[in-house]
Amino acid sequence: MYSLLDVFVIGIGPSSSHTVGPWEAARTFAEDLRRVGCLEAVAHVRVSLFGSLALTGAGHGTDRAVVMGLSGAFPDRIEPDDVERRWEAVRKTGRLSLLGVREIAFAPADILFVTTRRHPAHSNALQFEACGSDGAVLREATFLSVGGGTVIREGGTTARGAGRPVPPFPYASAGELVALADGCGGRIADIALANEVAWHGEDAARGHLDAVIRAMFACIDRGLERGGVLPGGLGVQRRAAELYRRVRAASPGHPSTHDVLGLVSAYAMAVNEENAAGGRVVRAPTNGSAGTVPAVLRYYRDHLGGGHAGMTRFLLTASAVCDLFRRNASISGAEMGCQGEIGVASAMAAAGLAAALGGTNRQVENAAEIALEHHLGLTCDPVGGLVQIPCIERNAMGAVKAIAATTLALHGTGEHRVSLDAAVETMRQTGRDMSDRYKETSLGGLAVNVINC
Ligand code: SF4
In a domain, 168, yes or no: no
Residue 182 shares a structural domain with residue 148: no
Same domain, 93 and 207: no
How many Å lie between the centroid of ligand 1 and the Cα of residue 397? Answer: 13
Confidence of residue 452 (pLDDT cuts 50, 70, 90): low
In a domain, 95, yes or no: yes
CB of 338 sitting under 6 A from ligand 1 = yes
d(CA 199, CA 164): 6
Q: How far is the CA of 303 from the centre of ligand 1 (A)?
A: 28
Let me know if residue 1 belongs to a domain: no
Give CA–CA dist 284/213, Å, rounded.
12
Cα 391 to averaged position of ligand 1 atoms, centre (Å): 5
Statement to judge: residues 182 and 138 lie in one domain: no
210: pLDDT strictly greater than 90: yes
146 shares a domain with 44: yes
Are residues 260 and 401 located together in one domain of the fold? yes
Note whether 243 and 363 are same-domain residues: yes
Q: Looking at ligand 1, which atom is closest to the CA of residue 382?
A: 1
Q: What is the pLDDT of residue 159?
A: 47
Choose one of 342, 375, 441 to mutate for the ligand 1 pocket test, by most ligand atoms within 8 angstroms of C-beta.
342
- What CATH number is attached to the domain comprising 137? 3.30.1330.90
Distance between Cα 269 and ligand 1 center (Å): 13
Task: Quote the CA–CA distance of 150 and 286 in Å, as a whole number.
Answer: 10
Query: What is the phi/psi pair of residue 296, to 5°?
Result: -75, -35
- Ligand 1 neighbour 342 (Cβ under 6 A): yes
Q: Are residues 84 and 211 in the same domain?
A: no
Phi, psi of 319 (to 5 degrees): -65, -45
Distance CA(298)–CA(342), nearest Å, equals 17
Section 99-126 average pLDDT: 91
Q: How confident is the model at residue 160 (pLDDT cuts 50, 70, 90)?
A: low
* Domain end (from 153, 187, 222): 153
The C-alpha atoms of residue 16 and residue 145 are separated, in whole angstroms, by: 9
Cα-to-centroid distance, 11 and ligand 1 (Å): 17
Per the structure, the complete domain to which residue 24 belongs is given by 12-153
Name the pTM for this structure. 0.90
Cα of 9 vs centre of ligand 1, distance in Å, is: 18
Verify whether ligand 1 is closer than 6 Å to residue 335 (CB atom). no
Same domain, 302 and 439: yes
| 88 and 135 share one domain | yes
Ligand 1 neighbour 341 (Cβ under 6 A) = yes
Q: How many domains does the chain have?
A: 2
My answer on whether 212 and 82 are in the same domain is no
Strand 111-114 to 125-131 pairing: unpaired
Q: Kindly state the percentage of the chain with pLDDT values over 90.
A: 86
Does residue 3 fall inside a structural domain? no
180 located within any domain: yes
Does the pLDDT value for residue 441 go beyond 90?
no
Residue nearest to atom 1 of ligand 1 (CA): 380
* Ligand 1, atom 6, residue with closest C-alpha: 391
Please give the pLDDT value at position 453: 57
79, 205: one domain: no
Q: Is residue 262 situated within a structural domain?
A: yes
- Are 300 and 310 contacting, i.e. CB atoms less than 8 angstroms apart? yes
Tell me, yes or no, whether 131 lies in a domain: yes
Separation in Å, CA 448 to CA 61, 118, 233, 412, 443: 21, 20, 16, 42, 6
